[in-house]
Amino acid sequence: MECRKTVLERRMSRAKQKKMNETSHEGGKGKSSQFKMKTNRLVLLRHGESEFNLENKFCGWHDAPLTENGEREACMVASPALLQSKLDFDVVYTSVLDRSKKSAELILSNMNRAYVPTKADWRLCERHYGNLTGFRKREIANIYGEDQVQAWRRGYDDVPPEINTENRYYYVIRNNPIFDDVPAGQFPMTESLGMCVDRVEPVWKEIKQEVLNGTRVLICVHGTVTRALVKHIEGVSKEAIQKVNIPNSIPRVYEFNMKTGELVGGPINLGDPEYIKKKTAQVAAIGD
């Protein structure tokens, strides 16, 4: 009877410890349970493949839709990864661009969470690529050289030429009603990564406060905007963020100490490591 009781106690202890591990993290190595802290997770995600991604074109503020493969990525890559990790959400933030909103819609639908509210914010739109918009990256590289194109793509302060009226997408973008909420004087004609980092900072502060208040948040946005948010969240340097590449539809999970606002550990990318490595390399390259 004594042995059976000991086994039962051990089982109960393990179950109790497992439950605590699922809901909290230790406040320091070797500290007792009284120092356990409340945490909350945030998920950052780039939308599925868009038509301009497929064609290897600079997209920026052009409202390119998802491809069939992009829809499949949202349903078959992002959603299963989130479900497998038992992640749930109270709100989803997107930009006003369709590829961002549609990806979020598909992800929530496939998680049976279509009822979760979404908030579309123009400040989370992709970086504006100026007069590069609509051109293939290889085409621009053949004109200006690969080093210049990579500086425009990855450099922190490198600003592409402003979009002008001769660009076929100038009026398409300027006259798109989804941008009606952009305040006068804040509609960009081009942006560097650094300018994008500055643009998203106010909305990131708003979102972070929600996270620290216990709201479970998914941010489903764009490649450069994701990099800008990574800089704010992780506090990486200007030099380091230039080397960060974000593949489509791979959830990036952060955990925050709800009292201090500090990160608990590093980010976790959900999904098959080899798949993530392959897709990250594709993003880094200029391509054909």
Q: For residues 251 and 269, is the Cβ–Cβ distance under 8 A? A: yes
Tokens of 28: 């320091």
14 annotated as ligand-binding: no
Burial of 113 (0-12, 13-18, 19+ CB in 10 A): middle
Catalytic residue among 47, 62, 73, 255: 47
25 annotated as ligand-binding: no
Which is it for strands 91-94 and 24-25: parallel, antiparallel or unpaired? Answer: unpaired
AA identity, residue 173: I
129 annotated as ligand-binding: yes
72 annotated as ligand-binding: no
232 annotated as ligand-binding: no
156 annotated as ligand-binding: no
Catalytic residue among 62, 73, 105, 126: 126
Q: What does the angle CA 254 – CA 255 – CA 256 come to, to the nearest 5 degrees?
A: 120
105 annotated as ligand-binding: no
- Residue 25 designated active-site: no
Q: How far apart are CA 61 and CA 126, in angstroms?
A: 6
Which DSSP string corresponds to 67-96? PHHHHHHIIIIIHHHHHHTT---SEEEE-S
222 annotated as ligand-binding: no
137 annotated as ligand-binding: yes
Nearest to 288 by CA among 134, 135, 138: 138
Tokens of 81: 């990864």
- Residue 232 designated active-site: no
170 annotated as ligand-binding: no
102 annotated as ligand-binding: no
13 annotated as ligand-binding: no
154 annotated as ligand-binding: yes
51 annotated as ligand-binding: yes
Output the known binding site: 46-53, 99, 126-129, 137, 153-154
Residues noted as catalytic: 47, 126
Output the known binding site for substrate: 46-53, 99, 126-129, 137, 153-154
